[in-house]
Amino acid sequence: MAAKATKLMRVLKSDDAKFADDWFSICNRRVDSVLDVEEDVAKIIAAVRKDGDTALKGFVKKFDGAALDELEVTPEEWDEGCEQVDSADRAAIGKAAMRVREFHRKRIPSSWEMREEGGGYMGQRVRPLARVGLYVPGGKALYPSSVVMNAIPASVVEVPEIVMCTPPRDDGSITPEVLMAARVAGVHRVFKMGGAHAVAALAYGTEAVPRVDKITGPGSVWVATAKKQVFGQVGIDSEAGPTEVAIIADKSATPAWLAADLISQAEHDELAQAVLITHVKGLITRVQDQLTRQLKGLDRADIAKKSLKARGAIVQTKNLAESIRLAEEYASEHLVLAVEDPEKISKEIQNAGAIFMGHYTPVAVGDYMAGPNHVLPTGGTARFFSPLSVEDFLKRTSFMKFEPPKLRELGADIVRLANVEGLTAHGASVELRLAKIRRARREREAARDLEL
């Protein structure tokens, strides 16, 4: 039994000759090539654009497995769904929503302006988007927490209309817990649709589904591909991929807890990736043994095993500093610091979607109840993307106004820069105004001379 346990996750050693290649394969984890759906997604989008609700209902039946007369959840359905939620579950969803709302209210960007001598006036106006679409995945699991995390930042900045879509069950209904989460999170309308067809409907609008300004939320490769294809016609948050976790562990870590954290990500999806990075050789065998023990009887054991075997890894490093360096290169969606001084080490981390510090902060804390958003950059994009936040549901418009004295002060430099770039018409647009300013100045001077 112990021998089998050691084979569940592959072990990479940083001092092996092949480590650089193996580590590159771990970091290069995007799965775009696993399932090539570009062409099929393009056809679905084109059909929804052309035939609207007719095509959309056909795709809901084909892909979501539900024959629908109406795509939108009615107020009565919504009420009935919420009434079915267990009171304790209702309280937990409400508490999570309250904490997420409190976190996102802490720092909301606001409009600002500045004035300069000579008549310079400029700044930015910050306004919410008019209508946003939230994609909430279904299929292999139910995600009321995704409703909370996507909707609340939009609700906090008072987006006028928040539209949500999620795959229906076979009977055409939406899971009560998802409807409950939508209600407490501030969603205005809910539609029964999933996959690429849902993204297309939100991006272009149909008879029943309103066109939105931005689509947020994770989903399958079909959803991710559709979001990528409609980007430009509509805003998106990012190209979300399979979930992932990297754990840095030292001698203070508990093997059973490390194994539990690895499994908790692996159970999401066969394509999820869980990576343990440690310089403590003795942890490795014990973690492998715990993985085998904890997977027994787990509801989603088959999914977790496939993920851990095919995509997971335990990396044995020379020291803690090397572990930190590798974690930075990996740029994980979730980074767990199972170490003695997590706060100190966290200050060295630049590339991570969210950092979970210490032995009592598993990823599940952030998934449900801490407050920071769990919609995070994946696939190494934590190097340049950030967690979903209120900024994702706001747009900024710059404004400026120059009075004649200010244009006279800066006009010559504007003309010079325009000429440097060969854009002489730009310069001319300023020169015409400067000429009028100079004429007006000469006329004022002449009038004063006459008075004298």
Residue 72 tokens read as 């939108």
The burial class, CB within 10 Å (0-12 / 13-18 / 19+), for 323 is buried
Residue 164 tokens read as 């949500």
Residue pLDDT, tens place only, 79-127: 999 999 999 999 999 999 999 999 999 999 999 999 999 999 999 999 9
The confidence score (pLDDT) of residue 446 equals 83
HEC profile of 366-391: HHHCCCCCCCCCCCCHHHCCCCCCHH
How many helices (H) and strands (E) the chain has is answered by 17, 14
The confidence score (pLDDT) of residue 31 equals 59
Cα separations (Å) of 67 from 166, 192, 198? 15, 10, 15
Lowest-pLDDT range, 19-33, 96-110, 116-130, 289-303? 19-33
Residue pLDDT, tens place only, 161-180: 999 999 999 999 999 999 99
DSSP character for 338? E
The confidence score (pLDDT) of residue 3 equals 41
Residue 33: pLDDT over 60: no
Cα 246 versus chain centre, distance: 18
Mean of the per-residue pLDDT values of the chain: 94
Of residues 1 and 114, more confidence is placed in 114
- For residues 296-316, average pLDDT: 95
Residue pLDDT, tens place only, 45-74: 999 999 999 999 999 999 999 999 999 999
Alpha helices in 6-37 (DSSP H): 19-27
DSSP character for 297? T
Q: What pLDDT band is residue 219 in, cutting at 50, 70 and 90?
A: confident
The confidence score (pLDDT) of residue 139 equals 57
Q: Side-chain half-sphere of 452: how many Cα atoms within 13 Å?
A: 6
The length of the chain, given as a count of residues: 452
The confidence score (pLDDT) of residue 254 equals 98
Contacts of 9 (CB under 8 A, 6+ apart): 262, 274, 276, 288, 291, 308, 309, 312, 313, 314
Amino acid present at 169: R
- Looking up tokens 């993204």, which residue turns up? 199
Q: Side-chain half-sphere of 76: how many Cα atoms within 13 Å?
A: 0
- CATH 3.40.50.1980-classified regions of the chain: 2-31+241-371, 38-239
- Percent of the chain past pLDDT 90, that is, above it, reads 89
For 214, the enclosing helix (H) or strand (E) is strand 214-216
For 33, the enclosing helix (H) or strand (E) is none
Q: List residues with catalytic annotation.
A: 333-334
Residue 380 tokens read as 């190494």
The confidence score (pLDDT) of residue 141 equals 61
Residue 90, sorted as left (phi over 0), alpha (psi -120 to 50) or beta, turns out to be: alpha
Q: What pLDDT band is residue 132 in, cutting at 50, 70 and 90?
A: very high
Angstrom distance (rounded) from CA 102 to CA 238: 24
Q: Which CATH class is domain 2-31+241-371?
A: alpha beta
CATH 3.40.50.1980 fits 38-239, yes or no: yes
Residue 2: pLDDT over 70: no
Cα 380 versus chain centre, distance: 13
Q: Are strands 394-402 and 120-128 parallel, antiparallel or unpaired?
A: antiparallel
Residue pLDDT, tens place only, 6-19: 579 999 999 999 99
Cα separations (Å) of 76 from 3, 66, 72, 169, 418? 57, 19, 11, 17, 62
Of residues 227 and 138, more confidence is placed in 227
For 320, the enclosing helix (H) or strand (E) is helix 320-330
